Structure 1
Amino acid sequence: MKRNIFLFICWSLGVLLALSACNDSDGGNTIYIPNAGALVKVNFYIEDEPYVETFTVKVTADHYPDLNPEGSPVDATVYLEADPEKVAEYNVAKGTDYPVLPADAYVVAPSTVIKAGQIESAPITITINSKGNMEPFIEYLLPVSIVSAEGLATDHCCQTVYFLFRGAVDASNMELLDRSGWTVLAASSEEPKEGDWGNSGLKEACIDGTINTFWSTAWEQSHPQPPHWITFDLGQSTSIQGFAIQARKEGADGPKVIVLEVSDDGQSWINVGEFKDIPVTGEYRSFLPQTVTGRFVKLTITAVNGGPHVTVSEFNLF
């Protein structure tokens, strides 16, 4: 009997100790980064002015981020810094190969404050100076870590967040290529009759620098259906990031869906992208899925806004 009472007392004490250990309000407070350990993707345009990304740190019961948060008992200053050495570690762990964001491309605010009674800090800024420091469309990794704090403890958990920065370029700001060395090699058809009204209609009109003339597929003697195509010799091997295309200025019979191909010899073609829903009027620009290099370009129109024949006033690359 006495043994049973003793065992019951021991069991009761064990339960009380376990409950006490699980009570998060008994511990102190700790500072952590929401989304710590996660990959935070940030997309922006590469421009003359810096891009600014912000994030915050938080305070919560020790070891229990976001569980029953209580305000900081004091003003707490938190110190942070970029941690580029963690990039290699991240790549190994995740099987990735992200490059480190170049040191000249960023400035991380060195500190922030969590005011007494608050659970979240003032915003921390990462200023990205991308112009001249980042290649467009490349994803760069930048880990940022808490290094210390005054007023509250930090914990080994949830101390680093991984930002993946990707800068893009607005296609409308891209400089078009010089076409003086280009030759239009062939087209699926053309319409000389358009020349009676000053529109040309010939294949060369789509690179003559004026929207008042255009290449038109045949319509007087025949009415070929899409797909329509035209090929260009750029004169030399050229790096191509994107294209610009425009129908006749009135917007009639413009391309709706196009396919671009490139070649080094004009014989073997590589499909570099299909582009849909091209607007009826105005110039349309788009980047390719990735930069390609080639001397010859083939433009194929597989669907037309109207039709069946198509008009292209201007075609260019960048």
Structure 2
Amino acid sequence: MPTVGENGRAANVLDGNQATFWHTRWYGGTDPLPHHIVLDLGEKLEVTGLRYLPRQDGANGRIAGYEVWGSTDRTAWTKVAAGTFANTAAEQTVTENGMLARYLKLVATSSHVGSWTTAAEPNVTRVVR
């Protein structure tokens, strides 16, 4: 559970504070990769990219391999990007061709450090329809 050992709630990725972050379970065991978090954009938008800001206080859980999926209904998902993030605390950008989505799912398929996943502030680049 992400709140045992520290406050690693998923809501931390939407609080505008780069010092807080989402963290998968690490205390008392870990959940196997892949891990994912779903962002609700609140409305259908033309999404053209995703920016991933890793946790800023260390390298544990930094996403290495990733996939980005989009959905308008949170039922049918389309993979829009995949690749590898560099092992850095700097924000990294995933560019997409453009997709109408209300939900984005960031999937960590591997981690640079450990078998858990963290994210500070993922952000979406978009064009409003």
The TM-score with structure 1 as length reference comes to 0.38
Which of residues 63, 66, 87 is equivalent to 1:279? 87
| Stretches of structure 2 lacking an aligned partner (at least 5 in a row) | none
Residue in 1 that maps onto 2:113:
306
Check the 8 A contact 1:264/1:296 in 2, yes or no: yes
Per-residue CA deviations over 1:263-292 (Å, capped at 9, x if unaligned) read 11100000001021333311111311x111
| Stretches of structure 1 lacking an aligned partner (at least 5 in a row) | 1-189
Identity of aligned residues (%): 25
What is the distance in 2 between the residues matched to 1:275 and 1:268? 21
Check the 8 A contact 2:81/2:94 in 1, yes or no: no
Answering whether residue 19 of structure 2 is matched by residue 212 of structure 1, we say yes
What is the Cα deviation at residue 251 of structure 1? 3.5
Check the 8 A contact 2:19/2:57 in 1, yes or no: no
What is the distance in 1 between the residues matched to 2:76 and 2:83? 21
Residue in 2 that maps onto 1:292:
99
Compute the RMSD of aligned alpha carbons. Answer: 1.4
What is the distance in 2 between the residues matched to 1:286 and 1:234? 17
Check the 8 A contact 1:257/1:278 in 2, yes or no: no
Answering whether residue 25 of structure 2 is matched by residue 227 of structure 1, we say no
Amino acid at match of 2:12: A
What is the Cα deviation at residue 194 of structure 1? 4.6
The farther-off stretch of 247-256 and 308-317 is: 247-256
Higher relative contact order (CA 8 A, sep 6+): 2
Amino acid at match of 1:210: N
Amino acid at match of 2:123: N
Residue in 2 that maps onto 1:269:
77
The TM-score with structure 2 as length reference comes to 0.89
Residue in 1 that maps onto 2:55:
248
Stretches (4+) displaced over 4 A: none
- Three-state SS of the structure 1 residue aligned to 2:39 is strand
- Three-state SS of the structure 2 residue aligned to 1:204 is helix
The number of residues matched between the two structures is 124
- Three-state SS of the structure 2 residue aligned to 1:239 is strand
